[in-house]
A and B are shown apart, each in its own frame.
Chain A
Amino acid sequence: MPRLQAHTVRALALLVGASVVSTVAGVEFAQMWEADRVLPGDGVVRIGRLSEYHPGLRNTRYDAMVYYLEGERPGGTALVLGGTHPNETAGFMAALVLVERSVVASGRVVVIPQACNSGFTCTDPLEAYPQSFPVATASGVRTFRYGARAANWVDQWPDPLVFMQYPSNQQLSGFETRNLNRAYPGRPDGTLTEQAAFAIMQLIRREEVDVAIDLHEAAPEFPNVNAIVTHEKGRDLAAQAVLALEFEDLQYSLELSPDNFRGLSHREWGDRTEAIPFLMETSNPIQGRLRGKTSAELLVTGSDSLYARAVRSGVMRVTYDVGGEPLKRRVGRHLAGILALLEAYSATYGERPIMLANVPSYEEMITAGLGAFLR
């Protein structure tokens, strides 16, 4: 048998090493494929999937769970979306509280806690994001995934150099092709992200949604945090909600959806369906560029010394409380905003009320913590 040369032996050894590293890394990445545990409460009358509205999503990771809550008294229908951007945790968590905790007194509420389901199976590269975070609940510590901003690359690859938004043909950066909140209205034969957007539009039409709320977060330096963005159809309702929230000492700024920025939920849902759309933003330090150590602790506590320094310096405009922006506060704000918008809607459209019960108030959320309201 010919003797192997040194570089060949080295190549074999490195190949084995690369295989081991790939396996270890692969096992770790695959841990994010396991779905988060959702424990629907008594308010949920039916559980479905997005593929009911577009069969093309069946057997794909885009086929998100849909929870239907219905009251005894008839009324209107609301849609609440969390997890459009899986790295914006308060949206997912607020929607989860609704599923696990709330009941509907009048009307119906459809909740999709993880709208971009594919994005929960990975994190954004080069950000050192944790793959998960813990929440202490009565039934023990539950762990939830912290996903990427957009869908998983392996579900939709390659990204184009330039993303041409359908049907506006607005040109955006290539990675936006996987961003659900640029894909509306979507199309049944488009990319999987566009198909998911199409399914949500179909849901809005078929379920005759009256009010549609999309929950988001953004970096503290983003100019539109702690805001309610409204389509012009919802201007009056949003103004009423902002004033009502002020009585609870919750400040929100009001933003109008620009009609020349296409593909976003608050624009396309309003233009193409009967629903009145709103989008809400809270301040999430883990998404910011100024942040220090990135960890699950930062995600949950929202406490970052560098952001605190930025605020104290007075030279930067950041929406950050020096005590931190904990997850419970952000979830509390989202829930308070949802209630205020639904109350404004019900007061205006008295014949189609949408009333939720058993939803923790902002004060209750701050006092007891998020875990107290999850099963």
Chain B
Amino acid sequence: MVLLHWTYVVLAAVIVYLVVRELFDQKDWRTQLTLALVLIPLVLRILHVK
């Protein structure tokens, strides 16, 4: 149970890394904005806030 939980946290962290990388690679501002928005719930979940 605990292992699965932290596996998901690590997965979320990996996705955050990929999203941030894409944020800096993208040139279209709309896509960048979407990526920035997507980051918010992921970060809050990794930090165990929400």
Contacts and interface: CB of A to CB of B under 8 A. Distances in A.
A25 B47 CA distance: 12
A7 B31 CA distance: 11
What band does the interface of chain A fall in when counting residues whose beta carbon is under 8 Å from B? 20 to 34
Contacts of A190: 1
A29 B32 contact: no
B45 A21 contact: no
28 contacts: A7-B32, A8-B24, A10-B32, A11-B23, A14-B35, A15-B20, A15-B36, A15-B39, A21-B40, A22-B39, A22-B44, A25-B40, A25-B49, A26-B47, A26-B49, A29-B44, A29-B49, A29-B50, A30-B49, A122-B50, A153-B45, A154-B45, A154-B49, A154-B50, A156-B5, A157-B5, A157-B45, A158-B4
A27 B14 CA distance: 24
B17 interface: no
A17 interface: yes
Range of interface residues on chain B? 20 to 34
Contacts of A22: 39-40, 43-44
Nearest to A27: B49
B4 A11 contact: no
Given A7-B32, A10-B29, A18-B37, A25 B23 contact: no
A295 interface: no
Nearest to A190: B1
Interface of B: 1, 4-5, 8, 20, 23-24, 26-27, 29, 32-33, 35-37, 39-40, 43-45, 47-50
B22 to A, nearest CB: 9
Interface string A247-269: 00000000000000000000000
A194 to B, nearest CB: 9
A309 to B, nearest CB: 35
A26 B50 contact: yes
A126 to B, nearest CB: 13
Interface in A153-205: 153-154, 156-158, 190-191
A190 B2 CA distance: 10
B16 to A, nearest CB: 11
B49 A158 contact: no
Nearest to A192: B1
